[in-house]
Structure 1
Amino acid sequence: MRVFAISDLHLDYAANREWLQQLPLHEYNDDVLILAGDVSDRLSLLEDAFRTLTKRFSAVLFVPGNHDLWINREHMRDSFGKLEAVHSAMREFGVRMDIFCQGDLAIVPLQGWYDYSFGAADDYLRAAWADYRNCRWPGYDETALTKFFTDQNPASSSSALRDARRIISFSHFLPRIDLMPDRIPDKHRKIYPVLGTTMLESQLRQLGSSVHVYGHSHVNRQVTIDGVNYVNNAFGYPSEAHFTRRQLVQVY
Structure 2
Amino acid sequence: MHLLALSDLHVADRTNRDSIAQIADHKNDWLILAGDIGETEEHLAWTFETLGKKFARLLWVPGNHELWTTPKAPELRGELKYRRLIDICRAYDVSSPEDPYPVWEGSPEGPCIVAPLFTLYDYSFRPDHVTRADALEWAKEHDLVCADEFLLDPYPYPTRDAWCAARCAATEERFTSIDSSLPTVLVNHFPLRAEHAWLPAIPRFSIWCGTRRTHDWHQRFRARVVVTGHLHVRTTRYLDGVRFEEVSLGYSRQWTQSRGAESYLRTIL
TM-score if structure 2 supplies the norm length? 0.84
Give the match for residue 101 of structure 1.
103
1:194 aligns with 2:208: yes
Question: Aligned to 1:71, what secondary structure does the other structure show?
Answer: coil
Question: Aligned to 1:74, what secondary structure does the other structure show?
Answer: coil
Number of paired residues?
A: 245
Quote the Cα distance in structure 2 between the aligned partners of 1:5 and 1:219: 14
The 1:237/1:16 distance shift into structure 2, 3 A limit, reads same
Give the match for residue 232 of structure 2.
218
Give the match for residue 136 of structure 1.
153
Quote the Cα distance in structure 1 between the aligned partners of 2:138 and 2:252: 26
1:205 aligns with 2:224: no
Question: Aligned to 1:143, what secondary structure does the other structure show?
Answer: helix
Map 1:164-179 onto structure 2 (within 5 A): 164=182, 166-179=183-196
Give the match for residue 74 of structure 1.
72
Question: Aligned to 1:29, what secondary structure does the other structure show?
Answer: strand
Map 1:115-126 onto structure 2 (within 5 A): 115-119=122-126, 120=132, 121-123=135-137, 125=139
Identity within the alignment, %: 26
Deviation per residue, 1:123-155 (Å, 9 max, x gap): 364772100111212332122110122233264
Quote the Cα distance in structure 2 between the aligned partners of 1:58 and 1:148: 32
1:229 aligns with 2:259: no
- Contact 1:6 / 1:248 at 8 angstroms: preserved in 2? yes
TM-superposed deviation, 1:162: 4.7
Quote the Cα distance in structure 2 between the aligned partners of 1:24 and 1:55: 10
Give the match for residue 7 of structure 2.
7
The 1:232/1:197 distance shift into structure 2, 3 A limit, reads same
Give the match for residue 249 of structure 1.
266
TM-superposed deviation, 1:79: 2.3
Give the match for residue 176 of structure 2.
157
Question: Aligned to 1:145, what secondary structure does the other structure show?
Answer: helix
1:184 aligns with 2:183: no
The 1:245/1:123 distance shift into structure 2, 3 A limit, reads farther
The 1:142/1:245 distance shift into structure 2, 3 A limit, reads farther
- Contact 1:110 / 1:200 at 8 angstroms: preserved in 2? no
Question: Aligned to 2:87, what secondary structure does the other structure show?
Answer: helix
TM-score if structure 1 supplies the norm length? 0.89
Give the match for residue 17 of structure 1.
17
TM-superposed deviation, 1:242: 5.2
The 1:38/1:238 distance shift into structure 2, 3 A limit, reads same
Equivalent position amino acid for 2:227 in 1: V
Counterpart among 113, 119, 132 of residue 112 in structure 1 = 119
Deviation per residue, 1:18-74 (Å, 9 max, x gap): 11110113xx11111111100001110110001112111111111100000111233
